[in-house]
Structure 1
Amino acid sequence: MRNFFCLTAFFAVLSLLNGCKSSKNEAKEITVTWELVSNFTDVPNGFEARFNLVNNGEMTLDDKNWALFFNMSPRPILANKTPQPATVQHINGDWYKMTPNAGFSLASGKSIEVRYTGTEAIIKLTDAPMGLYFVFYDKDGKEENIVEVANFQVLPFVRKDQQLRGKDDQVPLHTAAKRYQDNLALNLLGADQLQKIVPSPVKMTAGAGTLTLDKNYTIYYGTGLENEAKLLSQKLKSVTGTDFTLKNTAPTGPAISLQTGAVSVNGVAKEAYKLDINAKGVTITGSDAAGVFYGIQSLLALVPTENYLKPAASVALGFVQVEDAPRFQFRSMHLDVSRNFQTKETVLRWLDLLAFYKINHFLLYTTEDEGWRLEIDGLPELTQVGGQRQHAPGGMADPVLHPSYGSGPKAYDDTKHGSGFYTKADFIEILKYAKERHIKVIPELNFPGHARAAIKSMEARYNRLMKEGKEKEANEYRLIDPDDKSEYLSAQAYKDNVVSVGRESTYRFYEKVVDEISKMYAEAGLKLDTFHVGGDEVAEGAWTKSPQAAQLLKENPSIKDPKNLQAYFMGKLLERLEKRNLTIHGWEEVALLKSPDGKYLPNPAFVGKKVVPYIWNNIYDLDLGNRLANAGYPVVLCNVTNFYFDLAYNNDPQEPGLYWGAFVDTRANWAFAPFDMFKTTYTTSMGQPLNFAGLEKMKPEARKNVIGLESQLWCETVKGRDMMEYYSLPKLLGFAESAWAAERSWETIENRETREKAIQTGWNRFANSLAQRELPRLAVLNGGYNYRLPLPGAIVENGQLKANIEYPGLSIRYTTDGSEPTAESPLYTAPVNVSGKVKLKSFDAAGRSSRTMSPDDVK
């Protein structure tokens, strides 16, 4: 794929990167430091920050020969109230630059400070500038060299005014003392009290006795179950070292029997199964192949964690009978590989994990403003341009994708995650791999907003074909109105990410991509019957100064307002996709209209037309999911306060992630009442109470319209496999419980105090099960995953250390000499007298550990 660069722009940047050696070498001697000064500013919820530049080289920086480019979590920048030697300005998306003001000079051995202010307070190290690089200019103002900053430091956030988002932030700081206090509500449970299978089966009855599973057993499978038998054999070999014989016959002798039959649990037949372990062997009966597959996952879950950590020739399985079926037929996870790319191998590993926890859909988000990740026949620019990011000398006007999320100035930088795409063969392999694990991959092409990668790719195509004199072909898939002067700023701060809804080529492009993806499904032996159209976050102001949009409004006076052009677009797109017999999924906006005052209202036009909105917004429009379900739409709930894995676990500055909608931990994933969402979300992202008075509740007859749940991993701050897994684990396990397990008793308790007690009892059991069973297994399952372990809670009172942990069953190790705790450090079991610099870590049975902390780690 490295041969598919946007050649003209790439070689221009390459010449700059290899240009003027002296400035390149000198620039490496410039040290840059960034500090968050405070979030308590004159601007409500704003921030003040400063750069400090130190010139350790010989070259003098003046007011014309340099600029500093970088990415940071997108926020509007305000004009400086006091004169500064340089100006920080927003370019587009999360791309910023610092340029010198008149009279600027930074000579050898000197330093200079540049302050700036903005809106939306900063509390995370992952919000800080990243991917910094200098561009140096010659005397005529032309770029002559690009140099990445080699010496960059972000100062730690240690004060309250750096850790809270101004005076309105009511979320308590995540101190060691707060953790200790919170963890007092949990207690250690014995092995017999743990949840044996995650997610919980509908019914599980333990028997008296133990089956020893060893090489004497054969896997017998019925017709159509060869795939399931092979996968079971592979998994059992990983814990026993034994190659189990497979036979497509009736069982004889010691047997693991896989078969289909009439199975229905709680009135649900699809994906239902029964698992029986007794003295005769193991029998799994599924209503279909998927049911058998999920019975296998439950069998593998019952294998003791010790066998995963230390494989042995035999496995002891307690006698048990399990009857199980999912609460929701649609259980999905969304993965964004556009903001930061994830390799095919990472995706395949992830599909294995989704299957283990009975997740049966996978929304693969391969197009966005910042990247196009899927090869499409006939449109090579989509990956030549859209599959990579690099410095854009002409800024927004260039038909390239500029750096985002710290991807730096070079395309295909092996140390970064901005560039990459899946070939057709890669995608087909992903589809087949998912199919074997009973996971349906849903592709997404997000229009009319979030479309910058497609727009820039098709502009590159347009330019190429126009140079070749092929004007008709050049316009065939063009996506913009070239005369559009509309001004807007998207949710991710883009100014140019919305397609023209007034040109036929926009729809033609969409159909072309859908048809090419459909061919890939056919090559994988599948039929594309569900497509996600995105449809979210079109910014106010889009299309307001577009001649093409004005003509469309003139020809269709019923549209009335540019605000409604999004609904018009979805209607026209739906007509075309209906001809392909596709069920259309999309973010909630696909089912909404905007009132003149900007309020979202259910759009009755698409009810009954195979349109499925995904509802994320339960924090700004609290009852939106209820209103759409009540209006007759089949909905997927993906509430931001519960299921957004990219939102940080807490407000610790070192804990990565976003926080615009909430802080989301594993308990939030686990504690979700789908038919009464008000029961588990009580505050805004700023910790202020929510008011549900007068809001619409879900009608009992509308519950059938909730077809399922989805978890989300947006990857603005996620770089590479390890971060992806850290963000998602163990959150995925809490989500799986909400998506599969039967209704929990606390979901119907109206009294909040009584309900919270019941929730805490259930959560305590789940947290114990995470610590003692699930997490250590993840250390080795499928080669091992990079899951997160919580920091201990701790206080020191009168010289005595008291510590506890969020997941009882994890061990706590400590030191008192300032050294890093290891698995050999003293084990904390009870309050102990200490002196000196105390440090602690949590450990699990696999030897994995948390970050290091001290009782006074947060001021």
Structure 2
Amino acid sequence: MKKILGILCLVVIYTSCNQKRSYEEYKNITNSEVDYPIIPLPKKSDIKEGRFLLDETTQIVYEDAELEKEAAYLSELLKTASNEEVFLTNNLEEDKHSIILNLDNNLPEEGYSLKINYDQINITGKTPKGVFYGIQSLRMLLPPSAEKQGIDEITIPAVYIEDQPRYSYRGMHLDVGRHMFPVDFIKKYIDLLAMHKMNRFHWHLTEDQGWRIEIKKYPKLTEVGSVRKETMIEKNFDPYKGDGKEYGGFYTQEEVKEIVAYAQDKHIVIIPEIEMPGHARAALASYPELGNDTGPYEVATKWGVFDQIYAPKEETFTFLEDVLTEVMALFPSKYIHIGGDEAPKKEWKESKQAQTVIKREGLKDEHELQSYFIQRIEKFLNSHGRQIIGWDEILEGGLAPNATVMSWRGMQGGIEAAKQGHDVIMTPGTHMYFDHYQADPKSEPLAIGGFTPVKKVYSFEPTPDTLAADKKKHILGAQGNVWTEYMKTSDYVEYMVLPRMSALSEVVWSPMEKRNWEDFKERLFKLEERYKALGYNYAEHVFNDPKENNNSQEESDQ
């Protein structure tokens, strides 16, 4: 027995010494640029010698209770990577092999620092959000295969990073009015945003072709408005040809709450969009009394812009205020998007009721009537502590006092709004519409038109040189838009989004002077391996064609 115990002691001593030696072995390893394929590119990054070995002794330390969710999130990432449980603690022991999460009020609002040595990792942010972004950079330093399988030995290259985003608004949009997608996919989409350090998800919930959010006070919005009798086949506008298949669906309020909470854990704000005064066919089919007496109405079965819009009468404002009250209860976002685009004025020109409002309010024309409409909604939302975002058409007839503008018809609308002192999100169709083709249409799935390859997205500069220095501060950032007329499945959405979202993430995060297409492309090849590990369906053109074509075509209508 003494002999056996002696042997066991020797084994324990040997194992302990061997473990010590294994750390020492990684202390002086030389790293190179290729070991740091982080997208979006950090503001400052200094390569160091050594690598951190992730093993059974690694622990995650968070001394501030605010970081508990970030610690748990990192623990799950590392458990997937290594197939080993990673111990969480809020007590730091100096001699432990640790990943330490900290808060430091001296850092920028969304900034973080990431310090990796062979024996310790420190991730520090001003807020939990900054720490979360630091974790995303750490994630990019793990082998791509670690996203879905345990790896026997994982080492992470030493580095010191100081980082913060260039823009405060880094967004992606998704239209679920034309085609909607399961809750699980919406979460998967949010995961993609999180991986790319994006912080806004613009959720387009109502359209001519479908109302997709439950409003308890107005049940017909989902009973009637969420269902269209069929869908146009491809681009058979004239003569029209439908598929004869009923299409419908909506998100319950419980599902919306679940998605909002999921996004909040990833530090993503969901901005809901409730369209007005146009793109209202689904609502008018549900409550025809809100129209300009041009019914009967039905949920649209083809794509495009329709003359039928809300009537500017008191019943409409009551309805919209009731709807927005329920929306505000579900979404804590400061911003509520109210659309405001593509609202033909034909019905208002021919409506006695609309003309009466124009005369009563001393308005010049139907454009000023739309401004009156938007301003009434803005006052209501402002009174509840919220602000509106609208597409750049809300500039026409006079901009609502506190409105933020999304400039989609090029850059000019955003420039004009910024000159007037309004905040702007740049999302021009030329560069930010991810429903456009990425290659020769003959070899691509059906899309709305246009041509926007990855290189063109990467070339986008959100802040125009023509703006005066004191007005540039109004450019909050940029957003990629995903309109789903021709995207029937979540796989197709992924294909149209990736890797264009990756290019956009660097546009809105990284310093302009550090952006370099060739360097980005090298890092993107590494990110492609991560796409594969995560099971995303992505477009491969940029990977197959190093000289990706950068010609442009006219953008398509929204």
Pairwise same-fold verdict (TM > 0.5) = yes
Deviation at 1:280, TM superposition (A): 2.5
Q: What is residue 56 of structure 2 aligned with on the other side?
A: 215
CA spacing shift, 1:674–1:529, aligned 2, 3 Å? closer
| Structure 1 residues 544-555: aligned runs within 5 Å | 544-555=349-360
One-letter amino acid of the structure 2 residue matched with residue 645 of structure 1:
F
1:455 matches 2:243? no
One-letter amino acid of the structure 2 residue matched with residue 226 of structure 1:
E
CA distance in 2, matches of 1:483, 1:207: 70
CA distance in 2, matches of 1:304, 1:612: 41
| C-alpha contact 2:303 2:485 (8 A) present in aligned 1 | no
CA distance in 1, matches of 2:423, 2:475: 6
| C-alpha contact 1:220 1:251 (8 A) present in aligned 2 | no
CA spacing shift, 1:251–1:648, aligned 2, 3 Å? farther
| C-alpha contact 2:436 2:447 (8 A) present in aligned 1 | yes
Q: What is residue 731 of structure 1 aligned with on the other side?
A: 500
Deviation at 1:305, TM superposition (A): 2.4
CA distance in 1, matches of 2:258, 2:82: 28
| C-alpha contact 1:204 1:322 (8 A) present in aligned 2 | yes
One-letter amino acid of the structure 2 residue matched with residue 572 of structure 1:
R
Q: 1:440 aligns with which of 265, 269, 275?
A: 269
Identity over aligned residues, as a percent?
Answer: 32
| Structure 1 residues 19-418: aligned runs within 5 Å | 192-193=33-34, 196-221=37-62, 222-252=64-94, 253-264=96-107, 269-308=108-147, 311-391=150-230, 408-411=243-246, 418=247
1:505 matches 2:315? yes
CA distance in 1, matches of 2:333, 2:413: 29
| C-alpha contact 1:273 1:285 (8 A) present in aligned 2 | yes
CA distance in 1, matches of 2:371, 2:522: 48
One-letter amino acid of the structure 2 residue matched with residue 606 of structure 1:
A
CA distance in 1, matches of 2:212, 2:58: 45
CA distance in 2, matches of 1:420, 1:406: 22
Q: What is residue 800 of structure 1 aligned with on the other side?
A: none
SS at match of 2:442: coil
SS at match of 1:355: helix
Instruction: Flag structure 1 segments of 5+ consecutive residues without an equivalent.
Output: 1-189, 393-401, 412-417, 460-477, 522-526, 594-602, 678-696, 747-761, 794-803, 808-859
Deviation at 1:369, TM superposition (A): 0.6
Note the alpha carbon deviations across 1:494-543, whole angstroms, 9 max, x for none: 44431101x1111111111111122234xxxxx34321111111125231
CA spacing shift, 1:331–1:723, aligned 2, 3 Å? same
CA distance in 2, matches of 1:427, 1:606: 29
1:777 matches 2:534? no
CA distance in 2, matches of 1:721, 1:624: 32
Deviation at 1:562, TM superposition (A): 2.1
Q: 2:434 aligns with which of 635, 645, 661?
A: 645
SS at match of 2:65: coil
CA distance in 1, matches of 2:67, 2:420: 41
CA spacing shift, 1:406–1:289, aligned 2, 3 Å? farther
Q: What is residue 16 of structure 2 aligned with on the other side?
A: none
CA distance in 2, matches of 1:193, 1:634: 38
Deviation at 1:626, TM superposition (A): 1.8
CA distance in 2, matches of 1:214, 1:644: 44
Deviation at 1:303, TM superposition (A): 0.7
Which structure would you say has the larger Rg?
1
CA distance in 1, matches of 2:328, 2:342: 26
Deviation at 1:564, TM superposition (A): 2.4
CA spacing shift, 1:239–1:674, aligned 2, 3 Å? same
| C-alpha contact 1:616 1:640 (8 A) present in aligned 2 | yes
Q: What is residue 404 of structure 2 aligned with on the other side?
A: 612
* Higher percent of residues as helix: 2
1:707 matches 2:471? no
CA distance in 1, matches of 2:43, 2:414: 26
Between the two proteins, the alignment pairs up a number of residues equal to 505
Note the alpha carbon deviations across 1:622-654, whole angstroms, 9 max, x for none: 533222212211101112111111111133323
Deviation at 1:657, TM superposition (A): 5.0
Note the alpha carbon deviations across 1:694-734, whole angstroms, 9 max, x for none: xxx21111110001111110111111110000000000000
Moved more, 377-386 or 558-567: 558-567
| C-alpha contact 1:484 1:546 (8 A) present in aligned 2 | no
Larger RCO (CA within 8 A; separation ≥ 6): 2
| C-alpha contact 2:49 2:158 (8 A) present in aligned 1 | yes
Q: 2:251 aligns with which of 412, 419, 422?
A: 422
One-letter amino acid of the structure 2 residue matched with residue 341 of structure 1:
M
So what's the TM-score if we normalise by structure 2? 0.85
SS at match of 1:606: coil
CA distance in 2, matches of 1:496, 1:630: 32
One-letter amino acid of the structure 1 residue matched with residue 314 of structure 2:
E
CA distance in 1, matches of 2:473, 2:543: 42
Note the alpha carbon deviations across 1:381-426, whole angstroms, 9 max, x for none: 111111122159xxxxxxxxx9xx9983333xxxxxx421111111
CA distance in 2, matches of 1:720, 1:614: 27
CA distance in 1, matches of 2:543, 2:505: 25
One-letter amino acid of the structure 2 residue matched with residue 539 of structure 1:
P
CA distance in 2, matches of 1:623, 1:439: 28
CA distance in 2, matches of 1:430, 1:406: 36
